[in-house]
């Protein structure tokens, strides 16, 4: 079941993904261990609890030309709970 949260994360750790066909931006809160993913269709989800090491893996992957969407599909979606932001 998807629960709904109404508050987005602050923009401190935003990684914009202009070349991605799947994601627009990802953001992360190390305090709450929440990963926020904004998808190209406009939907926003929070995934949790995501450890800081996973966030760093994501940042390295994208920095070296890896796919943001593939990372989310392979390393995030199958393993973490989620909430939709409206």
Domain boundaries, the chain: 3-85
Contacts of 62 (CB under 8 A, 6+ apart): 15, 17, 68, 71
pLDDT in tens, 27-56: 999 999 999 999 999 999 999 999 999 999
Q: Is the pTM of this model over 0.85?
A: yes
Give the least confident one: 4-8, 11-15, 32-36, 73-77: 4-8
In contact, 62 and 17? CB cutoff 8 Å = yes
Give the pLDDT confidence score for residue 31 in this predicted structure.
Answer: 92
Average pLDDT over the chain, rounded to an integer: 91
């Amino acid at each position: 079941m998807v629960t709904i949260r109404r508050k987005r994360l602050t923009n401190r750790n935003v990684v914009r993904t202009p070349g991605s066909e799947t994601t627009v931006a990802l953001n992360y809160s190390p305090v709450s261990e929440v990963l926020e993913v904004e998808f190209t269709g406009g939907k926003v989800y929070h995934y949790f609890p995501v450890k800081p090491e996973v966030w760093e893996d994501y940042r390295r992957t994208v920095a070296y030309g890896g796919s943001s969407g593939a990372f989310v599909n392979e390393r995030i979606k199958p393993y973490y709970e989620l909430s939709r932001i409206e």
